[in-house]
Structure 1
Amino acid sequence: MHDKREEELGQIRIERPFYEHKQLREDFQYEKPKRPNAAREWKENLRIKKVFIGFFPILDWLGKYNWKKDLFYDIISGITVAIMHIPQGMAYAMLGNVAPVVGIYMAFFPVLIYLFFGTSRHNSLGTFSVACLMTGKAVIQHSDPAYFDSSGNSSDTEPTGYSPIQVATAVTFVVAIVHFIMFVLRLGIVSALLSETLVSGFTTGAAIQVLVSQIKDLLGLSIPRFKGYFVNVYTLVAVFEEIGNVNVAALIISFVTITISALNNDYLKPIIAKRSPFPFPMELVAVVVGTLVSKYCNLSEQYGVNVVGYIAVGLPSPAPPPFALLSDVIVDGITIAIVSYTITLSMALIFAQKLDYEVDANQEAFAMSLSNFFGSFFSCMPVCTSLSRSLIQQVVGGVTQLASVVSCLLLLVVLLWIGPFFEQLPKAVLASVIVVALKGMLRQVLEFWKFWKLSKMDAVVWMGTFLTVAFVSIDIGLLCGICLSLASIFILSFRPYTCLLGQVKDTDFYLDVKRYKSAKEIDGIKIFHYSGGINFATKTIFKDDLIRLVGINPQKEVVYRAKLAKYLEMAEETKPPTKTLNKLERVQNKVNTDLRCLVLDFSSVSYIDPSGVTMLKSTIESFTKLDIPVYIASCKEPVYEMLTKCDPEYCSKAGFRSFPSVHDAVHYSTELFRSSSKSSITTVRL
């Protein structure tokens, strides 16, 4: 029965008259779509309920929350994420060149704001290595050097300029402003500028930046902090110059911490994952054990190991960022805003697709704007979604952002009472935690070969972004990556796919004759397929490819035919010279008499501008002078409207003959050939 049904489907035929585009519009009542009424749409969007739920997504999912079923999983998820926040927050705060406790602040204040305004139910906001490193660059650039000694620790010299946390909060405030502008202007689509290739190269290069920045703490070296471009290069040179002064105790601590953490990630964690949904908190264990060993062995005084130092107890007092500094950090703020928003939105979309709920890109920008704005008054750096924490929050069973409430409550206990416990924590332990966390990002180097195999252009974008980020600067690297991505799009637009189409026998399929052996060209008809836009920049490419594939240059063909007529007239003489006969033969070989009709398949033409229309008109007229009619097929409505709009008078005289499909154009041409063979004057009814 099934085979019979397939046989019947294979024999279905659709019979209809062939149409020209004008006739199609008349017969099927074409009407140009009206633009939406902006006032009515705005009024619709301003409905109180819609606005309230739109600005406070928590009201949407909280009303559907299953307190008996979901609360337990959110509590477990919140506890797990809070345990991850402590070591990661302290470690990544070091990347920002601010006090370790700032990382805990970032996991508390902004997260509470995101709870109410964010649309993702699984994003774990807080510290992220790339965002913190980019902020740290601005901190070093604009804070008073007196706040740091040569080793990067707090200095005893009385500073007079901006403190590191003031610079960090100024950057956070700028990031909040940029996110708010993105929300107002509905620029959530700006994240599309950061392709998968660019993000991979950027994050891999940033991982190299992070790794190099931690070498001094891993080895216990005292080297200056560098500003500007090529910081990694200068840092590596300084490390090699000071390599003889390595602190052996710090090196041992780093080696032990990295080794145990790596073994845990590669061997112990998979085993535990099979038996328990809760990951083993190796990072927290390393931090606690490192603190205890440092405290009771007095590593700081006896062996000169750098430790975290003073940690403030309680919550920070609200204070506005230094507004006079905003203009100086605006470039850093814009760069961090784009990167943090892209990473946050990408993670939100991944979880939304996986768990079947919706995420609003513009509302995410608004949520991040408020989170950073609030955080800038409470000693926070710009926040970003962490890939690892978000994944853990979802895998452990977290259902909604109520898990963040549980996490914040536990972190509040740390801020109020437990914080001073970590004052003797060696910086080498935190540096080791960062390095182990970079493994996944560093392994992205292997993705270069994947991009190389898929597209050489993507590989160039990846490598250019990676090298610039890793060795020049993060912000310059991001700009370089965006420019390379846009350049690749621009270059690819100059390489449109063009081919000649042939018909598959007894079907209305028209396929590339070079790719499909069953597709054969129709005698006397050339079907030229063009994929891309036809504009002022690509019009020459369109014309050159058309002439190359069709095999006729109308300008030269006119000259050849004129010469042929001249030599034929001379050949009619009695006994024409041999020289004339030779010229006649050569010109006859150049003249193309096989082509009787040219069909332009516009099914993949996305856009045409006035320059393209002018070129097309000129091309059609040049072929028409050779008695070769040119028909346009499968033209999109916006393209057809542009053709008729640019030259209405020409179109009214049937200048652009357009058909809704290639088959219609071919059918019309063959009927025309058949009729013209019977009579010199024939009317073909559409």
Structure 2
Amino acid sequence: MDEDGCDTKSEDFGQIRIDRPFYEDKQLREDFCYQKPKGPNVAKEWSRNFRFKKLLVQTIPVLDWLVKYSWKHDFVKDIISGITVAIMHIPQGMAYAMLGNVPAVVGIYMAFFPVMIYFIFGTSKHNSMGTFSVACLMTGKAVLEYSDPSYFSTKGNIDGSTLIEPTGYSPIQVATAVTFIVALFQLAMYFLRLGAISALLSETLVSGFTTGAAIHVLVSQIKDLFGLQIPKFKGNFSNVYTIIAIFGELSKTNAAALIISFITIVISVLNNDFFKPIVARVSPLPFPMELIAVVVGTLMSKYCNLEASYQIRVVGDIPVGLPEPTLPEFSLLSNLIVDGITISIVTYTINLSMALIFAQKLNYEVDANQELLAMGLSNIFGSFFSCMPVCASLSRSLIQQVVGGVSQIASIISCIILLTVLLWIGPFFQALPKAVLASVIVVALKGMLMQVLDFWKFWKLSKIDALVWLGTFLSVVFIGIDIGLLCGVGLSLASIFFLSFKPHTCLLGHVANTDFYLDIKRYKAARELDGIKIFHYAGGINFATKSIFKSDLIRLIGINPQKEVVNRAKLAKYMGKVDECKINSENLTNKLEKVQNKVNTKLRCLILDFSSVSHIDPSGVSMLKSITDSFMKLGIPVYIAHCKEPVYEMLTKVYPDYTAKIGFRSFPTVHDAVHYATVLFSNSMNSSISTINIQF
């Protein structure tokens, strides 16, 4: 025992007994009837998976879950949940519509038309579809880029250097065109079964991206919080230009707007941090502070005539009734491809992430590909009714679940209430100050802004992940949302590429009286066996990593076989010329003996542990053969242990006769290889290696 209580005493290997015959890989496969699995029967798989009834239920999930719905026990819960979510939709929808540079009523449209389609095709029971700050902001970028500037600031619209020529398109036309192309991409992803594409957006990337987008949202609302007249900037670095313009206009702050913003923010924060937890102990229904702020702000603006008296900017005209169905402007689609791709991936990833959270929490299944179909059809339908791309909102979805919502019937209840607002109540909010909506947005951003602390969490867990987070965040904040997302994906892929070039390698040692072989640098109880080196490699061996495998092997075992072979050849050549040159051969003879003994005393057998080798390509096999041949020239056998079937098949495919070569053998476990080498050392040199049959 050492001072840490570890048993580091070297034990005789023969003390271990495993009650099974000794195996090599080739014999193991013969004895246990190994057969490479056949590919699936495409016709049978297609027939089984695409039967009409099964396909119908998979495509329209409401047909399945609605017949099982418990109207007696669950309907009241969904009514309460639907009413609560509808109350949240009104202020959030109007506020987030401002981020999209479209009329406030569009936010309520988004909580009505697409939601009805998601009810039919969606698989999440608790996702609250509608407006989402990041999606609306990304859409607003395209709206600002391609809409007629006369719809916005009276000072014009600039991108930092040049004026944008008017296009004649209204913000609604651009927004619906974005929605339509987002739908096309999502439907294309569904038919191509690309639901797993969301895996490209890691937790690190999503955190950095949404935090950076939250900064964009915050900056975009400062002008309304302070009542400033600032032109809308387009293109890259728009955030920087906006911040510079804000500092240039701070002296012109509208005091009345600032007071309204300050009061709304303070009351909302106090409600969220102090009052809401108290209410939660008494009632499952949250206190609708946002709606109260909107109603009170509207009443004060209307009866105190804030717009005329204090130049407070208000929401303005809100039409009564439902919008007429209109086809999107197809002439715009070619200009919106990049925006469509980014928005479709971001909204789908966020939507699926939230759906999976609730599904795991409440033990039901969510179909990733079906979610693509549901979102695509929802956006197609919404694009005909003046809607921006929809996405699930974390705050609304959480409330929908917390207050007892059981299914998407809660969303239908919410739609019915919002229909009432659209038909009769909408014009009431025309006098609502934009400062109130900006305050609602800023308070709602708290959760995303606090994600900045995630950087330190990722830094502690992985420096590479932290750099991905930081690179994504900074590129989103200072360059642009779409460029930032592209940079984030690039950094994530680069990190994967970098990690694949840093495989884990180590030497394994034996733990006495066990069949464990562990990293000798991490386990004090693991001791190297005399004359045997066990090299562990974790990762793939291919044309790109073969040099890393070779260099790490040479570094860890301390022997370069190819160099040693060359040294031996040189000394042997010199020894042949000793008599001709009439020089003293004693020194050369000693050198040759040292070269021969150096390798043989240090290493008599090399075992390659392939238990963590996931893949090997022909280039890797060629490298492996070259190294093996070099060791064999030194009289050192090389054994492969714990080789996965696909790796073994590649070895035998590239070199079918390699298992027949003396010194290059494959074993099912490291233990088999070590035992074979140990017995081989103890047998006489005349023993036939190929006929040894060991019971242990």
TM-score range, shorter chain: over 0.9
Match of 2:99 in 1: 95
Deviation at 1:655, TM superposition (A): 7.9
- Distance in 1, Cα, partners of 2:205 & 2:471: 9
Match of 2:162 in 1: none
8 Å Cα contact 2:128-2:400 kept in structure 1 = yes
8 Å Cα contact 1:152-1:222 kept in structure 2 = no
Between 491-500 and 13-22, report the one with greater CA deviation: 13-22
Sort the Cα spacing of 1:13 and 1:120 in 2 relative to 1 into closer, same or farther, 3 A: farther
Q: Which runs of 5+ in 1 are unaligned?
A: 1-10
**Equivalent residue in structure 2 for 1:409, among 416, 425, 428:** 416
- Distance in 2, Cα, partners of 1:136 & 1:152: 17
Q: Indicate yes or no: 2:664 matched with 1:673.
A: no
**Equivalent residue in structure 1 for 2:278, among 264, 271, 279:** 271
8 Å Cα contact 1:635-1:659 kept in structure 2 = yes
Deviation at 1:220, TM superposition (A): 0.5
- Distance in 2, Cα, partners of 1:54 & 1:577: 85
**Equivalent residue in structure 2 for 1:119, among 123, 141, 149:** 123
Between 670-679 and 206-215, report the one with greater CA deviation: 670-679
Sort the Cα spacing of 1:566 and 1:656 in 2 relative to 1 into closer, same or farther, 3 A: closer
Sort the Cα spacing of 1:612 and 1:578 in 2 relative to 1 into closer, same or farther, 3 A: closer
What secondary structure does 1:214 align onto? helix
Match of 1:50 in 2: 54
8 Å Cα contact 1:552-1:592 kept in structure 2 = no
Q: Indicate yes or no: 2:648 matched with 1:644.
A: no
Match of 1:528 in 2: 535
What secondary structure does 2:606 align onto? strand
Match of 2:477 in 1: 470
Q: Indicate yes or no: 2:34 matched with 1:30.
A: yes
- Distance in 1, Cα, partners of 2:680 & 2:691: 9
- Distance in 2, Cα, partners of 1:45 & 1:442: 44
Deviation at 1:471, TM superposition (A): 1.1
Q: Indicate yes or no: 2:168 matched with 1:164.
A: no
What secondary structure does 1:530 align onto? strand
Q: Indicate yes or no: 2:635 matched with 1:627.
A: yes
Deviation at 1:104, TM superposition (A): 0.2
8 Å Cα contact 1:74-1:397 kept in structure 2 = yes
Deviation at 1:594, TM superposition (A): 2.6
Match of 1:607 in 2: 615
What secondary structure does 2:639 align onto? strand
Letter in 2 for 1:68: K
Match of 2:7 in 1: none
**TM-score, normalised relative to structure 2:** 0.93
- Distance in 2, Cα, partners of 1:473 & 1:512: 46
Between 34-43 and 69-78, report the one with greater CA deviation: 34-43
What secondary structure does 2:601 align onto? coil
How far does the alpha carbon of each residue in 1:102-129 deviate from its partner, in whole angstroms, 9 at most, with x for none?
0000000000000000000000000000
Match of 1:493 in 2: 500
- Distance in 1, Cα, partners of 2:426 & 2:374: 29
8 Å Cα contact 2:205-2:492 kept in structure 1 = yes
8 Å Cα contact 2:511-2:517 kept in structure 1 = yes
Deviation at 1:669, TM superposition (A): 1.0
- Distance in 1, Cα, partners of 2:69 & 2:155: 51
Sort the Cα spacing of 1:566 and 1:268 in 2 relative to 1 into closer, same or farther, 3 A: same
Sort the Cα spacing of 1:159 and 1:462 in 2 relative to 1 into closer, same or farther, 3 A: closer
- Distance in 2, Cα, partners of 1:586 & 1:672: 24
Letter in 2 for 1:484: L
- Distance in 1, Cα, partners of 2:577 & 2:602: 24
Write out aligned runs for 1:326-475 (5 A). 326-475=333-482
Sort the Cα spacing of 1:349 and 1:102 in 2 relative to 1 into closer, same or farther, 3 A: same
Q: Indicate yes or no: 2:64 matched with 1:60.
A: yes
How far does the alpha carbon of each residue in 1:566-600 deviate from its partner, in whole angstroms, 9 at most, with x for none?
67889999994786588568757865533111110
- Distance in 1, Cα, partners of 2:46 & 2:253: 65
Between 487-496 and 653-662, report the one with greater CA deviation: 653-662
**TM-score, normalised relative to structure 1:** 0.94
Q: Indicate yes or no: 2:667 matched with 1:663.
A: no
Match of 2:143 in 1: 139
Deviation at 1:560, TM superposition (A): 3.0
Sort the Cα spacing of 1:599 and 1:584 in 2 relative to 1 into closer, same or farther, 3 A: closer
Match of 1:260 in 2: 267
Letter in 1 for 2:22: F
- Distance in 1, Cα, partners of 2:177 & 2:655: 56
- Distance in 1, Cα, partners of 2:690 & 2:241: 83
Two-structure CA RMSD over aligned residues (Å): 2.3
8 Å Cα contact 2:178-2:339 kept in structure 1 = yes
Deviation at 1:673, TM superposition (A): 1.1
- Distance in 2, Cα, partners of 1:608 & 1:680: 31
Letter in 2 for 1:149: S
Sort the Cα spacing of 1:628 and 1:260 in 2 relative to 1 into closer, same or farther, 3 A: same
How far does the alpha carbon of each residue in 1:307-339 deviate from its partner, in whole angstroms, 9 at most, with x for none?
000001100000010001000011001000000
Letter in 2 for 1:384: C
- Distance in 2, Cα, partners of 1:14 & 1:542: 32
Deviation at 1:152, TM superposition (A): 8.9
What secondary structure does 2:684 align onto? helix
Sort the Cα spacing of 1:450 and 1:32 in 2 relative to 1 into closer, same or farther, 3 A: same
Aligned length: 672
- Distance in 1, Cα, partners of 2:68 & 2:279: 33
- Distance in 1, Cα, partners of 2:599 & 2:568: 7
- Distance in 2, Cα, partners of 1:233 & 1:160: 25
Letter in 1 for 2:181: V
Q: Indicate yes or no: 2:200 matched with 1:196.
A: no
- Distance in 1, Cα, partners of 2:516 & 2:16: 14
What secondary structure does 1:648 align onto? coil
How far does the alpha carbon of each residue in 1:111-153 deviate from its partner, in whole angstroms, 9 at most, with x for none?
0000000000000000000000000000000111121233799
Deviation at 1:633, TM superposition (A): 0.6
Between 654-663 and 510-519, report the one with greater CA deviation: 654-663
Match of 2:160 in 1: none
- Distance in 1, Cα, partners of 2:166 & 2:504: 63
How far does the alpha carbon of each residue in 1:371-397 deviate from its partner, in whole angstroms, 9 at most, with x for none?
000000000000000000000000000
- Distance in 2, Cα, partners of 1:377 & 1:328: 19
Q: Indicate yes or no: 2:556 matched with 1:552.
A: no
Match of 2:601 in 1: 593
Deviation at 1:647, TM superposition (A): 2.3
Sort the Cα spacing of 1:120 and 1:502 in 2 relative to 1 into closer, same or farther, 3 A: same
What secondary structure does 2:602 align onto? coil
Write out aligned runs for 1:495-510 (5 A). 495-510=502-517
- Distance in 2, Cα, partners of 1:508 & 1:586: 35
What secondary structure does 1:329 align onto? helix
Letter in 2 for 1:118: G
